[in-house]
Amino acid sequence: MLRHAACGVLAGGLALAACARAPKPHVQPAPAPSAPAAAGAAARPTLPQDARGLGLVPLPASIEMLGTAERLGTAERLGTAPFQAGAGTVIVADTSSAEVSRIAGQLALFIRRATGVTPKIVAPTGTPPASAMVLAIGPVDSAESYDLTVAPGGVRLTAPAGAGLFYGVQTLRQLLPYWGEYEAVLYQQPRPAALPAVHIRDTPRYQWRGAMLDVARHFFTVDEVKRVVDLIALHKMNRLHLHLADDQGWRIEIKTWPDLTAKGGATEVGGGPGGFYTQAQYADIVAYAADRFITVVPEIDMPGHTNAALSSYAELNCQGQAPPPFTGTDVGFSSLCVEMDFTYLFIADVVREIAAITPGPYFHMGGDEVKTLTPAHYRAFVERVQAIVQTHGKQMIGWDEVAVATLLPTSIVQHWRPDAAHSELRRAPHLILSPADRTYLDMKYERETALGLSWAGLIPIKTAYDWDPATLVPETAPSAILGVEAPLWSETIATMRDAEFLAMPRLAVIAELGWSPAPRDWESFRVRLGAQAPRWTALGVNFYRAPEIPWTR
Ligand code: TNX
């Protein structure tokens, strides 16, 4: 039985007494052992009714409460508090691995912030000391999976790779009291933090759990992008798609075409100053994301959405004349000169330079909303760019219009138009699902929402939550669906405060769609989402307090 197995795991490395003392669970019968979640296929194991009281988002694949269900002081979660982090807590981790050490350091930081005590990180030597939090590499389902046991004598987190350990630490973080999110709590005295006794075995439903930030319509600084990285990491997302070029701005330094940023980077919607990332700054974002197991996906939108490039270089235009910069919000009017070979030399330079500073395997070529080309010219363009992207060792991604082209087996289609023809989408070798009427973070929540657009409809929380990625495009092979992504377009947002208001809480909704097994339970989700309020407040997140969610504060 899983419950005893959990103690067995624990007993292997921690004091046996810990398990012997663990109060008998009085919740549901132990869930069936969770199978690794095959995309779309995994059935939800029975979860204890009170698992929702843990306040975890996204919901893990399997949770077993080891403690009794008692309310814990101010914390709105259930379970006894058999593990007390604080003075005496030691993190045991393989300090010879830089990656494991880094993750242990991240856990140490959360413990310090929650308790006022910085735990020592020590290498494993035989039996772990009492009150140890052990991070171990060991077999669990897939690379992103983890197995976590919290019991009175200690905590044991096992994962086959760094990614799983990192997600297990994010779960521990959400199990710790919310005040661990404050950066500078001053403690008169160390304050122990209770972790509820629980056994969690977790694995993501989908490999692609993404968010997109449009830094082209309005520019966001490196620090602001890092803040977005932090928010997506907290919710176990693993892709950050950066929309780096559009009509209103070009945001990434290309050394062979310096005016792209010198001229094309100096505008944005509304006429503000714009901005751009040097290649070194972009590399800094990529490294910061990689430390959180997030792959950056760079997008240069083409052949449409290219006014910033066209206005920077006259020779990219069919007539040899540069248009003025554009600071409005219309779409569909611009296009690269697709019949001119010179255009493809330009594209090859851009792809080569970006590929060289992008360790991830993807390059997104946009391809959306082209209203000035014939279908034949459009298709030929996509296929030519696809070949360039392949030459530079990357997999091409394009918005769903590109599905009309002949695509390589490695290419990926990002579905966004709610009315895109399913017959075309089914031709896609791989699909990322970003249906605009469910996942677009820039849609208004309700008619009165001051920020955002509404062309794809209003998206209150339940609308964002209530759909199944596995059945959105009928007759698509489940294996073709890589996962989900939530795009945040920035026509109506100029600051991080505004961005957070549209993104949160819907980013957490899409994170759950990407991670948690189906079928999902709206009632459980509302409660767990509501429990994030003090945590997000501590992080300074300007989230929308949707009236249908029972926010705990
Ligand atoms: C459609 S989504 C666009 C963007 C806009 C967005 C606004 C997509 C591929 N194209 O250019 O910013 O709508 O919601």
Q: Which atom of ligand 1 is nearest to the CA of 453?
A: 14
Whether 276 is in the pocket of ligand 1, judged by its Cβ within 6 Å, is no
Whether 440 is in the pocket of ligand 1, judged by its Cβ within 6 Å, is yes
Whether 110 is in the pocket of ligand 1, judged by its Cβ within 6 Å, is no
Whether 401 is in the pocket of ligand 1, judged by its Cβ within 6 Å, is no
Measured CA to CA, the distance from residue 193 to residue 419 in angstroms comes to 50
Q: Three-state DSSP class for 328?
A: coil
Catalytic-role residue among 99, 224, 369, 383: 369
pLDDT (tens digit per residue) in 200-244: 999 999 999 999 999 999 999 999 999 999 999 999 999 999 999
Whether 257 is in the pocket of ligand 1, judged by its Cβ within 6 Å, is no
Examine residue 29 and say whether the peptide bond preceding it is cis (omega within 30 degrees of 0): no
Q: Give the length of the chain.
A: 553
Considering only the C-alpha atoms of the chain, give the largest distance between any 2 of them, rounded to a whole number of Å: 81
Q: Three-state DSSP class for 157?
A: strand
Whether 399 is in the pocket of ligand 1, judged by its Cβ within 6 Å, is yes
Cβ pair 229, 240 in contact under 8 A: yes
Q: Which atom of ligand 1 is nearest to the CA of 455?
A: 14
pLDDT (tens digit per residue) in 96-124: 999 999 999 999 999 999 999 999 999 99
Whether 329 is in the pocket of ligand 1, judged by its Cβ within 6 Å, is no
Query: What would the mean pLDDT of 498-512 be, rounded to a whole number?
Result: 98
Q: State the number of CA atoms in the 13 A half-sphere of 13 facing the CB.
A: 26
| 475 has a pLDDT exceeding 90 | no
Relative to beta strand 83-85, strand 193-195 is antiparallel
pLDDT (tens digit per residue) in 507-540: 999 999 999 999 889 999 999 999 999 999 999 9
Q: Which atom of ligand 1 is nearest to the CA of 414?
A: 9
Cβ pair 487, 459 in contact under 8 A: no
Q: Which amino acid type is present at position 445?
A: Y
Cβ pair 53, 67 in contact under 8 A: no
Relative to beta strand 198-202, strand 146-151 is antiparallel
Q: Three-state DSSP class for 173?
A: helix
Instruction: Of 71, 65, 76, give the one whose Cα is nearest residue 22.
Output: 65
Using the mean position of ligand 1's atoms as its centre, give its distance from the Cα of residue 264 in Å.
20
Name the closest-CA residue to atom 4, ligand 1. 489
Cβ pair 483, 433 in contact under 8 A: yes
348 backbone dihedrals φ, ψ, rounded to 5°: -65, -40
Instruction: Of 480, 423, 533, give the one whose Cα is nearest residue 206.
Output: 480
> So what's the pLDDT on residue 78?
44
Measured CA to CA, the distance from residue 385 to residue 390 in angstroms comes to 9
**Which runs of E-coded beta strand occur in 345-389?**
362-366
Q: Give yes or no: 369 in active site.
A: yes
Task: Kindly report the pTM of this predicted structure.
Answer: 0.90
Q: Which amino acid type is present at position 395?
A: Q
**How many percent of the chain have pLDDT more than 70?**
88
Using the mean position of ligand 1's atoms as its centre, give its distance from the Cα of residue 25 in Å.
50
> So what's the pLDDT on residue 128?
86
Under the phi-then-psi rule, with left for phi > 0, alpha for psi from -120 to 50, and beta for the rest, what region is 271?
A: left
* Helical segments of 176-316, H only: 222-234, 259-262, 279-290, 307-312
Using the mean position of ligand 1's atoms as its centre, give its distance from the Cα of residue 58 in Å.
27
Cβ pair 277, 253 in contact under 8 A: yes
Q: Which two tokens stand for residue 465?
A: 């939550």
Name the closest-CA residue to atom 8, ligand 1. 368
Query: What would the mean pLDDT of 438-452 be, rounded to a whole number?
Result: 98
Using the mean position of ligand 1's atoms as its centre, give its distance from the Cα of residue 244 in Å.
13
Q: Identify any residues that bridge with 148 across adjacent strands, giving them in sequence order.
A: 157, 200
| 320 has a pLDDT exceeding 80 | yes
Whether 489 is in the pocket of ligand 1, judged by its Cβ within 6 Å, is yes
Ligand 1: residue of 215, 217, 302, 331 to mutate (most ligand atoms within 8 A of CB) is 331
pLDDT (tens digit per residue) in 372-407: 999 999 999 999 999 999 999 999 999 999 999 999
Measured CA to CA, the distance from residue 54 to residue 74 in angstroms comes to 13
pLDDT (tens digit per residue) in 161-182: 999 999 999 999 999 999 999 8
pLDDT (tens digit per residue) in 58-72: 999 999 988 654 434
Cβ pair 102, 108 in contact under 8 A: no
| 188 has a pLDDT exceeding 80 | no
> So what's the pLDDT on residue 46?
53
Using the mean position of ligand 1's atoms as its centre, give its distance from the Cα of residue 15 in Å.
56
> So what's the pLDDT on residue 82?
79
